[in-house]
Each structure stands twice: as structure tokens, then as C-alpha cells.
Structure 1
Amino acid sequence: MTDHYDALETRDPAAREAALLAALPRQVAVAQRTAAFGELLAGVDAASVTTRAALAGLPVLRKHELLERQKAQRAQDPFGGFSAIGWAGLRAPRGAKRVFQSPGPIYEPEGEGRDYWRIARALHAAGFRAGDLIHNSFSYHLTPAGSMMETGAHALGCTVFAGGVGNTELQLQAMQELRPHAYCGTPSFLRIVFEKAAEAGIALPSLSKALVSGEAFPPSLRDWLAERGVQGYQCYATADVGLIAYETSARQGLVLDEGVILEIVRPGTGEPVPEGEVGEVVITVLQADYPMVRFGTGDLSAVLAGPCPSGRTNTRIKGWLGRADQTAKVRGMFVHPSQVAEVARRHRGAQRARLVVAGEMANDTMTLHVEVPGTPDGLAARVAESVRDVTKLRADIVLCAPGSLPNDGKVIEDARSYK
């Protein structure tokens, strides 16, 4: 699989960056025409958002905020004012093709377009080609995963069997009788299918490739599938922004989609972290129907240095490394990553900070570790005072050398015993 989906994948990185930044002001302006972003980005001159620094100055929209706005406006607009498309009664200029419901519930629209979610690129990288029959076991009801994969497959010229979720015996029968070339779905369900096939003495020789998502895909499971003749690849996508990144034959991280602008920010803030540091994935998607600008996914990842050996020149990320929402309840008070960031922000020289909550529930202790050059006199006491001011709680302070804290994206580490 050395060929690429299109020429965008191999363009000069500087040309790609220039194109993304050239599209950014238009995207901000499009977002401002929705009711929600019109409020969130009030006063922003869209024409001036031409650099990553300018983008970093805009607020991050996190999923819980999206849900709160949707709940507050259910009667008038179930999309909470974020969608530029809808149906009669929503005052949207264009109609939505479908509407989905994700846990929350959060409602997402699907717009018109040959490959609205941009999944075809990930399918192509996994070896899917025109004429393939794809067994799609992602859900076709409520959530958009089934539609995401199907529209991408159709854009490639593939035929799709709409398996959906559950009904393992019927899906196994369909695989035996239709002999699909490829599979889309969760990796765990594909394993279940192969185990059921083995119990029944059924062979599935036609199935040779898979694109999986929705859960972890460890190397052990990848190798288990390979032993059964299936080369599995993974992609990272969400219902809010579509495809974010995808695996290639190099199997060295995930390559970014060409239609998104990625930022990795310190959890609880909107501040980009240095390349290679773990932080929250924030996405600006370049499309007009559901124009997410600086959408915080809540997922942790980090940028990998250098280009992909497959020849694709876009940025690579490590993949999913955990969740960014590390809120902890300490002595009856919620402590948020944004509060830890605020404490560090108040003191010159303070760099990364990590709050460790230890002890037992109802008998908690907090220790704030702060990276700082040297040992400034009185800094620990001043930081402790800031902790009390910001969180209303007391903490021990440990000053440590820059670069000494783990690079795992954790701002709050809950090390308590829950026995």
C-alpha cells in the first residue's frame, strides 16, 4: 500500500500549513454566522486570525459546554446554535441530510457531500479499494459511526453490507455467504466474530483487511487478527469533527487528516504545549455545515517528530493516550485542571505543574509539583498561598527541575486508595 489517496497527502508541509492558515479566517467567519459561535467569538476579527498564535487566542469549546448549550436551547434549537444546517423551523439556510444522537445526549447533523466525515482517506490507507465489499458493523441507529464509514466507503466506490451492531450469528452467516473483502467496526467485535467462526468450524478466507475504531486497538489484538489473515488499521474520529487521524502501513503513529487543524493544549487551558508534550487534542475542522472552531475533544495525545515513512507528509500523533478531564473531588470541593494552570500562571518561571491527590477518601492530601528553574526564595510559600486562593484548599508544594515531571498529560493525578 504505497499509493496515496490524493496529492494532498504528499505536498510540501510548508505549502500545507500555508493553505490551512489561508482557510482559517474564512472558517472563523463561517462559524461566527451561527448563533453559538457568534456569541463565543463576538468581537473577533475573523480576517485577523491568520496564524496559529491568533487561533490560540480564541476560546476552546469543550464537549460539556456544547452539551450545556444544547440542553439550554432544546425547545428552540437542539443543536444549541452551533449548526449551520437543520430543517424547517430551525431557521437554518440549508437542510441537514441526517441527525444523530450521541451520549449526553448530544445531537449532531450530517450535511450533504460525497464524504461528509472524510473517512475515505482512512479507508484507503487501510487498503480498501473500489469494488471491495465491506462488512460494516458500526451502529446505524442513533450514533453516526455506521454512516461515517458507509459514506466514506461509497466515496471510494465500495459496496457496503449494513451489518450494524449485535446479532453475531446473523453477521457471521452474512460473512460466510457474502464473502466480504473488508471489515469496519470495533476490533473487539471482529475478534468475537472470528471466535464464533472457529467454534462453528466456519472459515472466513475472503476477509483480509479492516479499519477499526471506537476503542483501543492494542498490538496484541492487531497481531491476533494478522494470524487469521486480516490486516487491521485504526482511525481516530469523532461525531463532532469527523476524521482526525488515521494509521498507515508504516504503523508509526496516526497521520492527520488534510481537512483539520490540530492543536495540542495543556489540559484545562487553551494554551498549546511544546511539540512532543502530551496534552488535549483540540481540532478546528474546515467545513461550513457544522463549523467547529477549537473543539476540545477531551482526548490526550502528542505530536510525533518527523514525517511518516509511508510518504505522507502531514503531522503525526501518537494516538489516544487517555482523557484530559482529570477533575477530582477533594474534601468535598472539586479541583479542576484549569485551576492548577491558574496557580502556575500566577508565578513567573513556573512551568508545568502536577497536583497529586493522595491518602484515603475523606482524608485527602494534596501535593503540587511545579517545574521551575533554580530554587527561588519563598516561591513555595507563595505558590501554596495561590493554591488556597484558587481552590480554597491547602497543598504541600514541591519545586522540581524543568522536564522532571512525567510527559503523560496528567495535570491532576488521583493516587488515593478507594478501598
Structure 2
Amino acid sequence: MRHFDSLENCDPSHRQANLFSRLPDVLRHAMQAPTYAEHLKGINPPAIVSPATLAQLPVLRKSDLPALQKAKPPFGGFVAAHPGSFGRLFTSPGPIFEPESKQADPWHGARALHAAGFQPGEIVLNTFSYHLVPGGLIFDGAARALGCAVIPAGPGNTDQQLELIETYRPAAYTGTPDFLKILLDAAGKAQRDVSSIKRALVSGAAFPPSLQADIKARGIDAYQAYATADLGVIAYESSARDGLIVNEDLILEIVAPGTGDPVAAGDVGEIVVTSLDPHHPWIRLALGDLTAALPGPSGCGRTNMRIKGWMGRADQATKVKGMFVRPEQIAEIGKRHPELGRLRLVVSRAGESDAMVLKAEAKDDAVLQEAVSITLRTVTKLGGTVELAPLGSLPNDGKVIADERGG
């Protein structure tokens, strides 16, 4: 079967219509939780029926969840259901506490494994951690939902894992790309046979081209997935190798860092996700990761939105002269001067002091330059110089604040 189900190659307009027809009920359910009720106060759920109306809702920053959950344990008031109604309860670094729903494949990973070539009846060596964090069970549940048997190995214990591989002969691997290399290197040194592993789905760490080439040279076809402990599998790679395909039942937006404003098509911005799980919905959760959308459908025939993958962090706040400067402040300068294009605040050292230069795309205009300088001081409460640059000259990399002070 080329696709996991008919959703993957449906008409994009049908997908969008389906998602946004379901969104009002999800919003109503979310607003039964006290913190969501306050966060979304004044929102009329039946009116949120399009990307434009969704973009009017406030974002919820993942970086704020630890403090919110500490104030209102365990889930910060964002979950209406009692913790005992869920199947499993996890924590991840932050700490952030996450519940797992009881249905099969609750983190929606089976279609990612299918796109990576995993087949029912195969054995999967799953080396994601099973200890307190959801990673191991995200991919364990996905593989079993696809009809695979799972070796719940977790990371580490390399010698024992090599014995498991030789005994069970798994065809597939799930885990970080780094640990896959560790296993393969250890097998080579110990002259152990791990040749049964022919494919892999990796996540949780960078998978640079050099490591991709190394894994491929060893006869393993490895694919990437972008997943988080809050949402499960968000996007995944297919045989077309042309970006990551957004998972079904998610609405993914790309916004200017520090704002909730969608970027222009193809621009780099922060990933914001709305999930339609009625048991634990996330409404415009800003993940702090950067990406950009790719045009058109995938070459594999899947029609959902494609993204370039992880392109860095959007959380670029930095201290200058003892005061934090944040991306949302730079975005505010842009709002006050709509004639500006991209903005980038470069922080460096001038002698023994911090220095700021705001690079702004605009036509050469001394009056505008002075006005932006005043706004920079007003918004950040710090002095800095403004340099105007030709329109389109600043990099499209999502970087709003560049700290070049080194160590």
C-alpha cells in the first residue's frame, strides 16, 4: 500500500475544510479547562473556521508551560479531564507534564513509520527512552498500531542490544541517529551481525548530511521525524526526500518569532501547532522551533503541507547590558514601522560594553532611520544604532536576534 490511508492524498482544500469544521468543537472543549478559559476569554468558537480567524487567537508558548504547570499542577489548568482518566502520565525536561490518551497510537506515529517503509509483521528495535518520558512509548505504540513487534530496548546497554539484534533479527530501528551510529560502530568493533536492520526512523537529534551518508553506506534506509513530547509526531519524511510532511489532524502555522502573525509563504518562522485531540487539545502552541513551508505536494503523492524540518530555535531572547531583549520587541518595532522589511538585531561587544545594531530592510531614508532609532530605545529601553539595508538583503533564516559576543 503506497499510502497509510486516503487522508494522505486527499485534496488539500478538503483537508482544510475538515480540520476547520472540527475546530470549533475542540475550542469549546478546551475552554472547559480553567486556564484555557482565561487564555481564550472572549473567543467565539463558531467563528474560528479558517486560517485567518485562527491566527487571531493568542499563542501559548511551550516555554511558559513549566511555570504554568507549577502554579496549577499537574497540567497548568489546560486539561479539563482528571489525570486518572488518561492511560499514562509522563514528564519531560522543563519539567513539562504530559498525559497520554487511551486510544491506539495516541501520538499518531504509525503513518510516519509507514512512510519510512516499515511493514506489518516486522520486528522493530525501539531505542527511545521508556523512563518517565513519552519518547519510547510514542514509537512503541506507533509500531504496534502498524502491526509490528517491538523490542523495548531503550538507549544504552550496547552489548545487550547487539545480542538482541542477533537473536531477534529486527528489520527496523527507531531512536536517535546518534545511538544508531553507536550501535553500528560497536557491532563493527565486536564483529557482531546487525545486518538485519534495513530501515530506520530517527528523531530527537540533528541528522546532518554526513551522518545520513554514513548510515546509508551501511545499508540502512533512514528517515527523519519531527516529534515533541506534547504533540507526538508532527511531521515526517517520505521516500520522496523532499521535506517533512505535516501529520494529519494537526493545523501547523509558521509565524514571525515572538508573535502570532503568519509569515509570508516560504519565509522562515516559528512553528505553531493546533491539535484536534478532544481529550487534550493544544491551541496555537508555539514550540520555539524554526522552519519554513515548501510549496506544493510531495513527490510521493502525499498532499499535506510540507516543511523544511528543524531550522534552529525561535527563542532568541538575550541579555544586553543586564536587560533582556526579546524577539517580540523586535516584532513590535516592525509593527510601528510597517515600511520596514526583515529586521535583525545584532548584539556585539564594543570595547568592554554591549552594543546593539538593528539592521532593517528599507529604502535609504535618514528620517526613517532616526525614527526607528527612537523606537528601538523606546521599546527595548536600550540605546542602539540602526542600519538600513536594501529590501530582500537580510537572510531568510528566521533569526531576529543575533548574539555575536561569543563565549
TM-score range, shorter chain: over 0.9
Q: Which residue of the other structure, out of 345, 363, 366, is the alignment partner of 1:355?
A: 345
Counterparts of 1:73-112 in structure 2 under 5 Å? Answer: 73=72, 77-87=73-83, 95-112=85-102
Q: What is the CA distance between 1:375 and its match in structure 2?
A: 3.4
CA drift of 1:144 comes to 0.3
CA contact (8 A) 1:84 1:288 kept: no
Question: CA–CA distance in 1 between the matches of 2:403 and 2:55?
Answer: 29
Q: How far is 1:14 from its partner?
A: 1.2
Contact kept, 8 Å, 2:267 with 2:398, in 1: the verdict is yes
- Find the aligned partners of 1:117 and 1:376 in 2 and give their Cα distance: 52
- Secondary structure at the aligned position of 2:225 is classed as strand
Q: Look up the SS of the partner of 1:298 in the other structure.
A: strand
Q: Quick one: which amino acid aligns to residue 396 of structure 1?
A: T
Residue 385 (structure 1) aligns with? 374
CA distance in 1, matches of 2:300, 2:12: 15
CA distance in 2, matches of 1:147, 1:19: 29
How far off its partner does 1:376 sit?
A: 4.1
- Kept in 1, the 8 Å contact 2:162–2:194? The answer is no
User: What residue number does 2:386 align with?
Assistant: 397
| Structure-2 residue corresponding to 1:333 | 323
Distance 1:84 1:98 in 2: 16
Give, in whole Å, the separation in 1 of the partners of 2:309 and 2:344: 22
Instruction: Report if aligned partners of 1:388, 1:394 keep a CA contact under 8 Å in 2.
Output: yes
CA distance in 2, matches of 1:286, 1:175: 38
In the TM superposition, what whole-angstrom CA distance separates every residue of 1:211-246 from its partner, at most 9, and x where no partner exists? 110001122222212222211001001111111100
How many pairs are equivalent? 407
Residue equivalent to 2:309: 319
Q: How far apart in 2 are the matches of 1:327 and 1:290? A: 29
1:178 aligns with 2:157: no
Query: What's 2:52 paired with?
Result: 53
Q: Name the CA distance, whole Å, in 2 between partners of 1:220 and 1:361.
A: 39
Alignment of 1:148-187 (within 5 A): 148-187=138-177
User: Which range moves more in the overlay, 34-43 or 343-352?
Assistant: 343-352
Distance 1:290 1:366, change over 3 A: same
Pairing 1:229-308 to 2, within 5 Å after superposition? 229-308=219-298
Q: Is the counterpart of residue 4 in structure 1 residue 20 in structure 2?
A: no
Unaligned runs of 5+ in 1: 89-94
Given the superposition, is the C-alpha separation of residues 116 and 84 from structure 1 closer, same or farther in structure 2, using an over 3 Å criterion? farther
User: Offset of 1:350 from its aligned partner?
Assistant: 2.0
Partner Cα distance (1:313, 1:255) in 2: 8
- Contact map agreement 2:59 2:260 (CA 8 A) in 1: yes
Structure 2: how far apart are the matches of 1:20 and 1:330? 43
1:183-227 CA-partner distances (Å, limit 9, x unpaired): 110011011111111111112121111111000112222221222
Asked if structure 1 preserves the Cα contact closer than 8 Å seen for 2:63 and 2:288, the reply is: no
Q: How far does the alpha carbon of each residue in 1:314-356 deviate from its partner, in whole angstroms, 9 at most, with x for none?
A: 1110000000011111111110000111111112312321101
- Secondary structure, counterpart of 1:244 in structure 2: strand
The two structures, once aligned, show a CA RMSD in angstroms of 1.3
Partner in structure 1 of residue 208 of structure 2: 218
Shift of 1:136: 0.5
**CA–CA distance in 1 between the matches of 2:65 and 2:351?**
31
Letter in 1 for 2:62: K
Pair 1:149–1:195, CA change in 2 (3 A): same
Distance of 2:342 and 2:129 partners within structure 1: 41
The C-alpha deviation readout for 1:108-159, integer Å capped at 9, x for no partner, is 0001111110000100001111101100000001110000001111111110
- Specify the SS of the correspondent of 1:378: helix
Given that residues 360 and 417 in structure 1 are in contact (C-alpha distance below 8 angstroms), is that contact kept between their aligned partners in structure 2? no
Q: Is the 8 A contact 1:368 1:395 kept in 2?
A: yes
- Verify the 8 A CA contact 2:236 2:245 in the aligned structure 1: yes
Q: What secondary structure is seen at the aligned counterpart in 2 of 1:85?
A: coil
1:341-396 Cα offsets, whole Å, 9 max, x none, are 11111123123211011126851111111122x33451111111111111111111
The answer as to 2:398 corresponding to 1:409 is yes
In 2, the alpha carbon distance for the partners of 1:279 and 1:163 equals: 36
Q: Which residue of 2 aligns with 1:62?
A: 61
Contact 1:380 1:399 in 2 (8 A): yes
The 2-side partners of 1:21 and 1:87 are apart by 28
**1:348 is aligned with what amino acid?**
P
The answer to whether the 8 A contact 2:346-2:402 is kept is yes
CA distance in structure 2 between the partners assigned to 1:142 and 1:57 by the alignment: 36
Kept in 2, the 8 Å contact 1:283–1:294? The answer is yes
| Inter-partner Cα distance in structure 2 for 1:125 and 1:220 | 23
| 3-state DSSP of counterpart to 2:344 | strand
Maintained 8 Å contact 1:27/1:291:
yes
Q: Secondary structure at the match of 2:58?
A: coil
Counterpart contact for 1:360–1:416, Cα < 8 Å: no
SS of alignment partner, residue 22 of structure 1: helix
Contact 1:210 1:232 in 2 (8 A): yes
Alpha-carbon contact 2:83-2:99 (below 8 Å) kept: no
Sequence identity, in percent? 50
Whole-angstrom CA distance in 1 between matches of 2:338 and 2:77: 40
Alpha-carbon distance between aligned partners in 2 of 1:165 and 1:242, rounded to the nearest angstrom: 19
Q: Which amino acid in 2 is paired with 1:205?
A: S
Structure 2: runs of 5+ lacking an equivalent: none
